Amino acid sequence: MPAPDRPDLFPGALELMVLQTLRLGPLHGYALTQTIKRTSDGLVHVEEGSLYPALQRMLKAGWLAAEWGMSARNREVRIYRLTPAGRKQLEKKLSSFERLLAGIIKIVRPVQS
Amino acid sequence: MSWFRWFHRENDERQLRKEVEAHLAERVDDLREGGLSDAEARRQARREFGNAVLHLEDSRQVWHWRWLDDMRRDVRYSASTLARRPGFSAVAILTVALATGVSTALFSVIDAAILRPLPFPRPEEIVGASIETRREGFEDRPLHPSPSPSDMRRWRNAGVFSALAAWNSRGEGVLEGPVPERARVRDVSEEYFQLHGVVPRLGRDFTAADTIAGAPAVMILSHAYWQARLGADPDVVGRTIRYDGTPTQVVGVLPAGVHPDVTVWRPMRVDPARADNRGSSGTVFGRLRPGLHREDAERLLSSITPVGDARSPTGEAQRLGARVRLASVQDETVATYSTTVGILAAAVSLIVLIACVNLAGLLLARGATRHPELAIRVSLGAGRLRLIRQLLIESLVICLAGCAAGVLLAGLSLDGLLAILPMRLPASAVPSLSPGVLSAAVGLALTTGLVVGLVPAVRLSRVDLARPPASRSGLSLSRRAGQALIAGEVAMAVVLVLAAGLMIRSFSRLTSVDLGFDPDAVIAFNVLPLEREPSPQRRYYSELLDAIRALPGVGAAGAVDYFALSGTFAGTVASADGRTVAMSRRQILPGYLEAMGVRTRQGRFPVPADGGRVAVLNESAAKALFPNGALGQQFTMGGPFSVVGVVADFTHGGPSGRRSAEAYVPFDPAAVIGMTAGMTVVVRPARWTASLGDMLRQTAEGIGPRVLVDPVRPGREWFGDRVATPRHRTVLLGLLGALGLSLTLVGIFSVTAFAVARRTQEIGVRMAFGARPGAAVWHVVRDAIVPVGLGLAAGLAVAFFATRVIASFLFETTPTDPVTFVTGAVMLLAAALLAAWLPARRAARIDPVVALRAE
């Protein structure tokens, strides 16, 4: 089966974005993609093909919880929220991400200047 | 992941689906608000979402139960695919059901007859013991006298057997329990039950004391009789019941299931004065001690067994030593069924093969119509293995559904099939759908599903997306492959049909044999007065015949001890003028020969006034005893007789019986030979009335106070008993032949129907260029006829050699009987043409315009 072309910059980026976005409040899947798109000024586009498997993974890991609710358009949707375990995971991921980012910037900047 | 979770998978999947749908709907709403039309919005949302099916699978894969899950989904998917094509599914499942049904029935017979024919512990230890001796000058004709009681005593002391026993079947006698009735009896020595590992349920086993001549009469009763007639009375031991006129004490009751056909077990009696005599002990069985080899035991026993017995006449040629032979009872029992079971197995295997070919053809043919569906699955990312698995699961689902239906079919028809089983199984080996048989049936279905499904699955999974679905040739059932399937099926069907045809022809020859009398012209029934003294018997029968002759509609009436259609006779010898002739003696009451419609050659029939010393001979007997004319001559047969008449020969024992020397002498109850069934009253009605049977029965019961009257049956039924085994063979092989033929016709039909569907466009082109509809039909039929012809030729060639295996079952019919071969071939060809023509007619209705537009 061909692996879908993932937009992740690095492994875990999608999870990081989802966790970070959900920290602001529970969202359903479609709203998640739209929020990420809006927040990144359209630079990051989350593919649904990666999003839903990722959501399932995180549900299974216990970082997220999900329940059925109503969307703004009054449609039945599954709404995901962060669990305490997810919050802890987010902190961990964020700090390692920041370290990684700092490293990358150090490597990339000299070439640019 | 827990099982609990897995059971909730369906729920998860539905949730995921719902979630994705909501996602799409939200997106569509957004896009519409952005100014797209409804349709455009929908299309874009789908495009953005990408491969929805794959996402679902990816999301689900997270839960690790993918494999089991896919399996479950495949099974469900297969079931719904099959439900959507009820015609195809019905034919496929029915094909498997019929094949499984006959094989399951066969398995149950093999299970009973071959695998566990002897329901005793360690049956392999039980051997039949016999003595083989030869006489000087006759070395090529060994004698096999049954061992004498002294031989048995010596063998017991030799220590090779853990038990040694003898038994004799004594036919039937009258057991006068609550209701007098016939009961099968077996006389057995001590250790008989011990040898078979049977312990009486009530009372005791026989002991050596019971077997001494003059010991009190005792018996052990069967479980079935004790239950049905004695109300399972726990105090039955010690009771006395008359058996064949002798008050006999019940000393025991057997557990259920031991030789269920035998009701009365008596101790075999040994006269000490005749203990050395060989030839009267019946059958001798021993149970070898564990670990002892048969050959070693034979050598040891031979060394201690004397050459001759006390009776060996001094004048007789020198005996050349005695060898003791031990033969595995199990092997010998199985050997008696092996031919019939082998033939049945061969026929059933052919049917299973035909069914497999059918199924493969159906799967391939249907596959072509599924190309679009399979292509979509591939474009959605389904791998080839995934497709093969899906297709295999479909054929497995078909086979298991067919298996379930087939087992049901076998369960429903097993009793009927056993009734026409052309062999006698031991009464204790009852074929049934045991767990072993059922697992064999399921195993067969699974194997069939995998093996038959594999080739179509591999072929069909070779989906080439680049190729337009219209060019399907080569993908599924090619023209060649279809023709090969037809040829193979026809070849196998020919063998089955010809075997059935030969049996039918043989049976019709058997039943049209001229017996010398007309079985349809008589009715007959057995009557047995319980009073065994000669004079009341004589009185009873003569009164009975007088009363019967007085009934309206009776032409002639008489009675005989061994009825011509009973299959039994009393063999003796007759001598006159220094000649001795083997003779079958039949005691008659005047009127029997008239009732049978026998032609007189010389003299007259006996009359009541003749007294006891007159005889009528048949022509064979007259010629053998008195070459110069028999009438008025004297001969000796247990006593002196004078010949008053000679009658034409007629066949005894049914159509396959022999015409041999027969003497008809007046009924003499004192000189009866081994008769336990009573006399058979034979009536020739002047005209048939429905109530005649009832009247005869009432008359027979009304005369004597205590009498057993068997059902009154027309001569045709008695005749039917004599040809029961060949009839069963014929019906069974006929059924199997019909089954094989029908499956083959279904195969030809479906392959041709598929060919028409596949070649719609080609035929459309031909018709567009002016071909007539008739030519189009012929074009299709011709494609089927060529392989039918090839299959027919191959089948005839195989049958030419294969039908030899049923040669021993054929009556005056050679296994390559030309009439049968030609008739069978023509019939099969005609049926095959019809099966091809029916679907081919559709070709004539093809509209060229529609057909071409479909491209």
Cα–Cα distance measured from residue B307 to residue B617, given in angstroms and rounded to the nearest whole number: 42
- Decide if B30 touches A, using CB distance below 8 A: yes
Cα–Cα distance measured from residue B119 to residue B236, given in angstroms and rounded to the nearest whole number: 26
Please report, rounded to a whole number, the percentage of residues in chain B having pLDDT higher than 70.
91
Confidence at residue B10, expressed as pLDDT on a 0 to 100 scale: 53
Which has the closest alpha carbon to B170: B244, B242, B248, B279?
B244
Confidence at residue B401, expressed as pLDDT on a 0 to 100 scale: 93
Cα–Cα distance measured from residue B348 to residue B582, given in angstroms and rounded to the nearest whole number: 45
Chain B residues near residue A71 by CB distance under 8 angstroms: 22, 26
CB atoms within 10 A of CB A85: 14
Q: Report which secondary-structure segment, H or E, holds B596.
A: helix B592-596
- Decide if B15 touches A, using CB distance below 8 A: yes
- Taking one residue from A and the other from B, the number of pairs with CB-CB distance under 8 angstroms is 74
Q: Chain-wide mean pLDDT for chain A?
A: 80
Instruction: Kindly state the DSSP code that residue B34 receives in the 8-state scheme.
Output: T
What are the tens digits of pLDDT across the range B803-832? Answer: 988 888 899 899 999 999 999 999 999 999
| pTM as predicted | 0.74
Chain A residues near residue B383 by CB distance under 8 angstroms: 1
Q: In Å, how far is B40's CA from the nearest CA of chain A?
A: 19
Under a CB-based contact definition with an 8 Å cutoff, are residues B325 and B298 in contact? yes
What are the tens digits of pLDDT across the range B598-627? Answer: 988 999 998 888 888 999 999 999 999 999
Q: In Å, how far is A40's CA from the nearest CA of chain B?
A: 18
Q: Is pLDDT above 80 for B39?
A: yes
Q: Among B29, B54, B62, select the one facing A49 at the smallest CB separation.
A: B54
Judge residue B408's burial from the number of C-beta atoms within 10 Å of its C-beta, 0-12 exposed, 13-18 middle, 19 or more buried. middle
Q: Among A29, A49, A56, select the one facing B50 at the smallest CB separation.
A: A49
Q: Is pLDDT above 60 for A7?
A: no
Chain A: residue whose CA lies nearest to B52 = A49
| Residues B22, A48: C-beta atoms closer than 8 Å | no
User: pLDDT-based confidence at B1, cuts 50/70/90?
Assistant: very low
| Residues A60, B55: C-beta atoms closer than 8 Å | no
Would you tell me which residues 603-662 of chain B have a C-beta closer than 8 angstroms to some C-beta of chain A? none
- Decide if A56 touches B, using CB distance below 8 A: yes
Which has the closest alpha carbon to B228: B188, B183, B170, B197?
B183
Under a CB-based contact definition with an 8 Å cutoff, are residues B174 and B182 in contact? yes
Judge residue B276's burial from the number of C-beta atoms within 10 Å of its C-beta, 0-12 exposed, 13-18 middle, 19 or more buried. middle
Question: Which segments of B630-772 does DSSP mark as H helices, in order?
Answer: 692-703, 715-722, 724-758, 760-768
At B82 the three-state DSSP class reads helix
At B526 the three-state DSSP class reads strand
Interface test mutation site (partner B, options A18, A27, A30, A68, max chain B beta carbons within 10 A) = A30
Chain A residues near residue B18 by CB distance under 8 angstroms: 76, 78
Q: Which region holds residue B547: left if phi is over 0, alpha if psi is between -120 and 50, else beta?
A: alpha
Instruction: Kindly state the DSSP code that residue B246 receives in the 8-state scheme.
Output: E
- Decide if B54 touches A, using CB distance below 8 A: yes
- Decide if A80 touches B, using CB distance below 8 A: no
- Decide if B21 touches A, using CB distance below 8 A: no
Under a CB-based contact definition with an 8 Å cutoff, are residues B262 and B227 in contact? no
User: pLDDT-based confidence at B769, cuts 50/70/90?
Assistant: confident
Q: In Å, how far is B67's CA from the nearest CA of chain A?
A: 14
* B143: its two tokens: 């004698």
Which has the closest alpha carbon to A23: A11, A13, A35, A8?
A35
Confidence at residue B310, expressed as pLDDT on a 0 to 100 scale: 52
Under a CB-based contact definition with an 8 Å cutoff, are residues A32 and B19 in contact? no
| Residues A53, B16: C-beta atoms closer than 8 Å | no
Confidence at residue B311, expressed as pLDDT on a 0 to 100 scale: 54
Residue at token pair 């993974």: A57
Chain A residues near residue B63 by CB distance under 8 angstroms: 56, 60
Chain A: residue whose CA lies nearest to B49 = A48
- Decide if A39 touches B, using CB distance below 8 A: no
| Residues A48, B48: C-beta atoms closer than 8 Å | yes
CB crowding B638-658: b at 16 or more within 10 Å, else e: eeebebbbbbebbbbbbbebe
Q: Among A52, A71, A73, select the one facing B20 at the smallest CB separation.
A: A52
Q: Which region holds residue B674: left if phi is over 0, alpha if psi is between -120 and 50, else beta?
A: left
Cα–Cα distance measured from residue B813 to residue B160, given in angstroms and rounded to the nearest whole number: 49
Q: Give me the mean pLDDT over the B226-243 stretch.
A: 93
What are the tens digits of pLDDT across the range B459-512? Answer: 777 766 655 544 444 445 677 878 888 999 999 999 999 999 999 999 999 999
Q: ipTM for the complex?
A: 0.82
In sequence order, the 6+-apart residues with CB closer than 8 A to the CB of B57 are: A1, B66, B381
Radius of gyration of chain A (CA): 15
| Residues B61, A53: C-beta atoms closer than 8 Å | yes
Chain B residues near residue A35 by CB distance under 8 angstroms: none
Chain A: residue whose CA lies nearest to B53 = A49
Cα–Cα distance measured from residue B301 to residue B303, given in angstroms and rounded to the nearest whole number: 5
Confidence at residue B288, expressed as pLDDT on a 0 to 100 scale: 93
Which has the closest alpha carbon to B360: B94, B585, B92, B623?
B92
Q: Which amino acid is at B322?
A: A
| Residues B19, A75: C-beta atoms closer than 8 Å | no
* B227: its two tokens: 């239950």
Q: Among A1, A48, A73, select the one facing B49 at the smallest CB separation.
A: A48
Confidence at residue B60, expressed as pLDDT on a 0 to 100 scale: 58
How far CA B472 is from CA of B322, B382, B767, in Å, comes to 78, 20, 21
Q: Is pLDDT above 50 for B365?
A: yes
Q: In Å, how far is A62's CA from the nearest CA of chain B?
A: 13
User: pLDDT-based confidence at B6, cuts 50/70/90?
Assistant: very low
Greatest mean pLDDT range, B228-237, B414-423, B701-710: B228-237
User: What would the 3-class secondary structure string for B357-383 be?
Assistant: HHHHHHHHHHHHHCHHHHHHHHHCCCC
| DSSP result, B170-238 | EEEEEEESSSEEEEEEEEE-TTHHHHTT---SEE----GGGGBTTSPPEEEE-HHHHHHTSTT-TT-TT
- Decide if A97 touches B, using CB distance below 8 A: no
| Residues B62, A60: C-beta atoms closer than 8 Å | yes
The HSE-up count of residue B624 (CA atoms within 13 Å, CB side) is 19
* B436: its two tokens: 């072993």
Confidence at residue B115, expressed as pLDDT on a 0 to 100 scale: 84
Q: Chain-wide mean pLDDT for chain B?
A: 85
Confidence at residue B62, expressed as pLDDT on a 0 to 100 scale: 57
Confidence at residue B52, expressed as pLDDT on a 0 to 100 scale: 59
Which range is least confidently modeled, A54-58, B98-102, B226-230, B790-794? A54-58
User: pLDDT-based confidence at A5, cuts 50/70/90?
Assistant: very low
CB crowding B133-172: b at 16 or more within 10 Å, else e: bbbeeeeeeeeebbbbbbbbeebeebebbbbbbbbbebeb
Chain B residues near residue A5 by CB distance under 8 angstroms: none
- Decide if A55 touches B, using CB distance below 8 A: yes
Which has the closest alpha carbon to B589: B647, B522, B544?
B544
Q: In Å, how far is A1's CA from the nearest CA of chain B?
A: 6
Biggest CA–CA distance in chain B, Å, is: 129
The HSE-up count of residue A107 (CA atoms within 13 Å, CB side) is 5
Confidence at residue B61, expressed as pLDDT on a 0 to 100 scale: 58
Greatest mean pLDDT range, B28-32, B271-275, B376-380, B522-526: B522-526
- Decide if B62 touches A, using CB distance below 8 A: yes
Q: Which amino acid is at B334?
A: V
